[in-house]
Each structure stands twice: as C-alpha cells, then as structure tokens.
Amino acid sequence: MQKYDHIQKEDKKIYDLILAEKKRQEDGLELIPSENYTSQAVMEAMGSILTNKYSEGYAGKRYYGGNEFVDQVELLAIERTKKLFGVAHANVQPYSGSPANLAVYLATCNPGDTVMGLNLPDGGHLTHGWKYSATATFYKSVPYHVKEDGRIDMDEVWALAKEHKPKLIWAGATAYPFMYEYDKFAEVADSVGAYLAADIAHVAGLIVAGAHPNPAPYAHIITTTTHKTLRGPRGGIIMVTDKGLAKDVDLSKKIDKAIIPGLQGGPHDHQTAAIAIALKEASTAQFRSYGKQIVKNAKALADSLKRHGLKLVADGTENHLMLIDLVPTLGAGGGILGSEVLEVAGMTVNKNTIPKDPSTALFPSGLRLGTPALTTRGMKEKEMKQVGKWIAEALAETEPYRLPTDMKERSIYLENFKKEIAKNKNLQKIRKEIKTFCKKYPLPR
C-alpha cells in the first residue's frame, strides 16, 4: 500500500485527508456500482513521471517532440482495447466517459439532429440526451422509456425511431438491472439508417469476463469509462467496430478528429498508461472469474434484500447493480433518507430515481447499489447475505421519518434528520460490526 511519504513532507493537510479517505474506504462497504478499487500498478502509473509530458495529437503525428515513449504507451493501450473487445479502432484519449460520448455526437451529428437515448429517470445517462445536458441543448432529444417491469420498451423504441428518424441511437444506462439487448437495438437503428452507439461504461468488465453480451457485432460505436467494472483509472475509450466502418469508412477518422481538435487538447499520458495496465489485467483468467463473481454476488445480494422485505425494481438483477424502491416503506423522495442512514451505518450507496418516480431527481425515491467493489475485496455469495441483512436493518431505522412534501420545509427537516441518525445506537452498532467485518477483506495491495 502506498505510504505517501513525499506528500506527508510537502503538504500535511492533503496527506491527512488522503489517509482519512483511505480509512473510510477500508472500514466501510462501498456499494456504489460505478466505483471500484484499482490495483497498485494502476495507481503507480497514475502517479508516474508520464504526467509531465505534453502530447497533443496521435502516435506518430504529435504537435510536440519527445513523444517516442508516450507513443508506445498509447499504441499498447489501443491494441489491448481492440483485442479485448474485438473492435477495429480505438481511441484511448477521452478524459472520461462524458467527453467520450460528446465526441460521438460531434463525429456523427450536426447541431439540431435528432438523437434517442434512455430517459434519465428510467436509468439512462445525462449524456444520452437528458434535458439539462448539453446533448439536449445542441441536439433534438427523443427519450425512450422502460415498461412497468423495468425493461426497456422496445415497442416504443421502434415507434419513436420510425416517427423521428434519429441520426444517433444510444444503447446504454447507469441504473438498469438487465442485460442489454444490443441485437434488438441494431434492428431499430439499421431500419432508420441511424448510428448505434453502445455505452458500456457500467458493464465493460462484465463483457470482458463473458458475463454480459458484447455489442461489437451490433453497434457502430462503443464508448466506455475505464473505471467501474473494468477496474482501471478514471478515463474513457471510444471504439469503432467493423460494422461501423462498413457504414462509414471514415468513421474512425471522424471520431479521432472529434476528440482532438474537436473537444480536447493533450491527452493525460499517465492515465493512458494506467488504462493499458488495467486492460492487461482484464485479459487474465483471474479477471474473467472476477467479472462472473460480480454478477453472482449481485444476484445473491438482491435475494437477501428481498428476503428482508425490501422491494427491488425489476424484482432483482441480471448484472452488477440493483435498485431499491423505497416508496412502499419511505414514500416519495425517500432515497435521500435511505442513503444518509446507510452512510451512518458504514455503507455507501447513492440515492437514485426509479422508473415512474413519484418524486424528482433531486429527491429520488430509490437507492442504487452494486457489487463490483465488494467483489474486488474478495467477498462472495455468503457475505452478500450478511450485507443484505445490514442494509435492511439500517433502513428500518428510517421508520419514524418521512420527507416533507413542502419543499421549503425539507432543508431544515434533513438537517435535523442527519443530526438524529448520527446518534442512532442501532446504526452505530451496525457500523462497528461492518468495521470488524471489513478487516477480513483488505483493499488491493
């Protein structure tokens, strides 16, 4: 484990904060499905001398000198991406997932063109055309939705595509507990001549592990973050498939130009190296077992939550995450109460909208949680049963509380709520149990 000796000497305040965060991660259960723990090798690359270099452009075509070794780093990351996902082209320079997605718009659409993506409250992503995102400001967004059972309404997707003739269709989500049916989306996109972009940010590691379908045979473009289930640094990748090149022979060039000079300057070379390391780690049999275990753990955790009386959107999960519907127990907007209670008890989740949420995105009625980080620590199905029990016990402490319907009263109410639950003895007891439990499952060393 890193000791941060130089930081300690140079900046004691930052050093103390880093150690405090390290202790928080060690002593608690990280259940946010978009978070994970990287290897020490990935962290070393992120703090390496590569951070000193400027390398605008692409390998062999830089605007700066001195990039002979940086070029090799980037080419390694590219080749590992292409091999791992079975794609024709990869750009590893996006700073993160949102810039990667914006580059796809720039490469395939003109301002005002129609695009389709999953509605944010139904589990979609901001950059798939949500009304407050730049992707809806500069493009005409026509969102699709999920049905009562939580699955995407493909009949609606077909109807909207026929009516609006989108230029770009997104297949991807941030809070969707099912496997993605890329083949069905491909049929829709092909029927109207649209580009199909698969955003696999959440399931990239599952795809590599063979625990989730690969969109490469169906999509024209694939985007992903490199953290989450892929267990790398925070970064992004854009891939162009053989199908994408068959649709547009210049698609790879358009994607590259969208990144630079379209949206970004010099890439983060330390990040590129860390991505390359994570991709090498993901190519191992050990990682494939890890990816499959994530799904096993998610299903075990979902079963445990249901056994303890909690309601899940879609009644379970097919991937790494699940959504708890708190409307039956906490009413509309209860997600903010549930997330605060779990944090006091030593479990980190995020409040999240549920399909047809009776409240708003600021005060959602659900909780989103998943198993990538717990699986990295070595936990399996047996441990998930206990985690589910702790979650149910902690959420039971919200029984006396309900979020006021009057918006003006909510700030004061939440302030008092936080003060009261911080002193809750049952939550303190669970937190102590979790701290002891976590010592058996150290962070990656």
Active site annotation includes 225:
yes
Active site annotation includes 54:
yes
Q: What's at 36, amino acid-wise? A: N
Kindly name the residue from 27, 35, 56, 190 that is annotated as catalytic.
56
Structural domains of the chain in order of their starting residue, each with its CATH number: 45-282 (3.40.640.10), 292-438 (3.90.1150.10)
Helix, strand, coil % in the chain, rounded to nearest 5: 50, 10, 35
- pTM of this prediction exceeds 0.85: yes
Kindly name the residue from 74, 199, 343, 383 that is annotated as catalytic.
199
Instruction: Report whether 80 contacts 281 (CB < 8 A).
Output: no
Per-residue pLDDT of the chain (445 residues; tens, 9 = 90+): 578 999 999 999 999 999 999 999 999 999 999 999 999 999 999 999 999 999 999 999 999 999 999 999 999 999 999 999 999 999 999 999 999 999 999 999 999 999 999 999 999 999 999 999 999 999 999 999 999 889 999 999 999 999 999 999 999 999 999 999 999 999 999 999 999 999 999 999 999 999 999 999 999 999 999 999 999 999 999 999 999 999 999 999 999 999 999 999 999 999 999 999 999 999 999 999 999 999 999 999 999 999 999 999 999 999 999 999 999 999 999 999 999 999 999 999 999 999 999 999 899 999 999 999 999 999 999 999 999 999 999 999 999 999 999 888 999 999 999 999 999 999 999 999 999 999 999 999 8
Let me know how long the chain is. Answer: 445
Kindly name the residue from 22, 82, 234, 306 that is annotated as catalytic.
234
Kindly name the residue from 4, 15, 54, 95 that is annotated as catalytic.
54
Active site annotation includes 182:
no
The CA distance from 352 to 321, in Å, is: 12
Active site annotation includes 433:
no
Active site annotation includes 242:
no
Active site annotation includes 199:
yes
Who's near 209: CB < 8 A, 6+ residues apart?
Answer: 287, 288, 289, 290, 291, 292, 294
Helix (H, G, I), strand (E, B) or coil at 140: strand
DSSP 257-318: HIIIIII-SS--HHHHHHHHHHHHHHTSHHHHHHHHHHHHHHHHHHHHHHHTT-EEGGGS-S
Kindly name the residue from 108, 225, 229, 375 that is annotated as catalytic.
225
Kindly name the residue from 228, 243, 299, 368 that is annotated as catalytic.
228
